[in-house]
């Protein structure tokens, strides 16, 4: 059974070690909001206001407090709106 995000939401599997992420991006420890990194697992179909540009497999950065946590078959996921994703690693 798969989790299919609705509308402009994306399902993300956070990177294992959030402080030392894949791709060599180290997130500094400051007072500012820090983006975290993960892998897109599934995307919604978008809305008329928000076309989906992300796809499964994309490595993305997102805000620390973005999205909603859930756990499925032993893995932790985040589900958030595409607009809460700030960048993709390419």
**∠ Cα 71 82 20 (to 5°):** 60
Q: Quick check: 72 binds a copy of itself (CB under 8 A)?
A: yes
CB of 3 to a copy of itself, least distance (A): 5
Q: Quick check: 17 binds a copy of itself (CB under 8 A)?
A: no
Q: How far apart are CA 63 and CA 55, in angstroms?
A: 18
Q: How far apart are CA 8 and CA 47, in angstroms?
A: 6
Which residues in this chain contact a copy of itself in the complex, by CB under 8 A? 1-7, 9, 11, 23-28, 30, 32-35, 45, 53-54, 59, 61, 63, 68-73, 76, 79, 82-83, 85-90
């Amino acid at each position: 059974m798969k989790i299919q995000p609705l509308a402009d939401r994306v399902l993300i599997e956070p990177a294992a070690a959030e402080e030392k992420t894949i791709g060599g991006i180290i997130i500094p420890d400051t007072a500012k909001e820090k983006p975290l990194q993960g892998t897109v697992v599934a995307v919604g179909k978008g809305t008329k206001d928000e076309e989906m540009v992300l796809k499964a497999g994309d490595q993305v950065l997102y805000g620390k407090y973005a999205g909603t946590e859930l756990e499925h078959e032993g893995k932790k996921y985040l589900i958030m709106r595409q607009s809460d994703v700030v960048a993709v690693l390419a």
